Amino acid sequence: MFKSATKTIFRSVLFLGMTCGLASESVLAADLDEYTLFAPNGSTDTYLIDKDGNTVHSWVSDHRVALSVYLLPSGELLRTGSVLDAPATFSGNAGGMVEILDWESNVVWEAAIASDNYFSHHDAEVLPNGNILVLAWEAKTAEEAMALGRTQVAGDTLWADAVYEICRESEANACLDGEIVWRWSTWDHAVQDVDTSISSNYVNNVADHPDKVNLNYFSGDGSADWTHANSVDYHPEKDVIVISVHNFNEYWIIDHSDASAGIVYRSGNPLAYDQSGRQTLFGQHDVQWIEPGLPGEGNILLFNNGFNRPVGEFSTVDELCYEANCRSGSLLSQYSEGVNGEFYSSHISGAQRLPNGNTLVCEGRDGHFFEYNIEHEIVWEFNYDGSVFRAYRYYGDYSGLSQLVL
């Protein structure tokens, strides 16, 4: 199963950008055991490994992962899953459910988010109220899309990405378990400037409406998977959500307090809304805010895959400013091995800022995990024999590990 044991090495790599936004001194998690969580793509298993690559705990589900997993402070595992009887509209695509498993792999909560009209995929997040945020595709017929001003649809269906809040009922949370209690959809904010007769969403110039979604910006032949969001993260202090929009090469920030509002902020590819400027994101994944208390807290961290990067295909881990004493979206630091380096994953992958200032990276295509320090030296790495969507680090004092017995 595992291609090689974990090894600790030191290697210098190319460092691009500035160290602005990173703490000058590490916030140490000294003397704490470190554990890494991941679920191999296509597997029903989830693994927790120690620094030496030994599996210290595992969970097994009845469903293949689709695609993210998280260890909650309660010790429960939040897990996206693939339904066995996916609606025909979305057949062949992973997703359709979210489940929570206890330490012994018993299902303590689950919700099916799958119908002929919508289908969850990729990612999920627990909100402070206990509800679950999920990414979902909403199916629109080719006729619906063309009637709204879409110029091209390859097949008979177009999938419009949405963010749903799913109720997890509790004594403190009086809602119907599994119900969609909040929704933000790209479809509700789509505009076009090609057909003046469609008054509901026609604008004179898409570039004048960066808060809207250009209905006629799409990759290739206009296939069903229009925007292809692949990650979702919530900012509790600001009550906003960031989503990674793969096919637009952007991340969008939306307002959780007002689903009627459009895109609050976007970055990565001005061409997606007909503006001029340099594209900086290329098929990115795992867009997130760095958590409070960590070096770079409040900044945006993401895995910039580099697919179709004009200067050559190579990946980077980018830290970007967000509402600090710098321009939002500006690059603060970047890990890269450049066009001639080996660091490249064309798809999936992610990164996580750690308490000591280091960054954990999942080079997902090859199942390669590594940790680099603020000097951009690799100080830990692990290779798994297969692709992995993401990996996450937890420390020995994390409450979610209280049931771990070594």
pLDDT for 233 beyond 70: yes
Q: Is the separation of the CB atoms in 222 and 153 below 8 Å?
A: yes
Give 1's pLDDT tier (boundaries 50, 70, 90): very low
**Given strand 132-141, what is the order of strands in its sheet?**
118-126, 132-141, 157-166, 180-185
| 406 token code pair | 């070594």
- Of 363, 370, 376, nearest to 393 by C-alpha is 370
Residue 295 φ/ψ, nearest 5 degrees: -55, 125
pLDDT, residue 223, reads 86
Residue 79 included in any domain: yes
- Of 213, 163, 218, nearest to 193 by C-alpha is 213
* Number of domains the chain is built from: 1
What is d(CA 376, CA 227) in angstroms, rounded to the nearest whole number?
A: 33
Residue-wise pLDDT for 42-98, tens only, equals 999 999 999 999 999 999 999 999 999 999 999 999 999 999 999 999 988 889 999
Residue 395 included in any domain: no
Q: Which residues pair with 184 in a beta bridge?
A: 163
Q: Write out the residue range of the structural domain in which residue 137 sits.
A: 64-289
pLDDT, average across residues 235-252:
98
Residue 382 included in any domain: no
User: What is the value of pTM for the model shown?
Assistant: 0.93
Q: Residue 171 burial by CB count (10 A; 0-12/13-18/19+): exposed, middle or buried?
A: exposed
pLDDT, residue 342, reads 97
The proportion of the chain whose per-residue pLDDT surpasses 90, expressed as a percent, equals 87
- Of 50, 47, 48, nearest to 32 by C-alpha is 50
Q: Is the separation of the CB atoms in 33 and 49 below 8 Å?
A: no
Residue 350 included in any domain: no
Counts of helices then strands in the chain (DSSP H, E): 1, 28
Q: Using omega within 30 degrees of 0 as the cis cutoff, is the peptide bond preceding 67 cis?
A: yes
Residue 84 included in any domain: yes
Residue 73 included in any domain: yes
What is d(CA 403, CA 67) in angstroms, rounded to the nearest whole number?
A: 25
pLDDT for 16 beyond 80: no
Q: What is the DSSP string of 192-239?
A: BSS-TT-TTTB-S-GGG-TTSEETT--STTT-SB-S-EEEEEEETTTT
Residue 361 included in any domain: no
Residue 250 included in any domain: yes
Residue-wise pLDDT for 302-329, tens only, equals 999 999 999 999 999 999 999 887 888 9
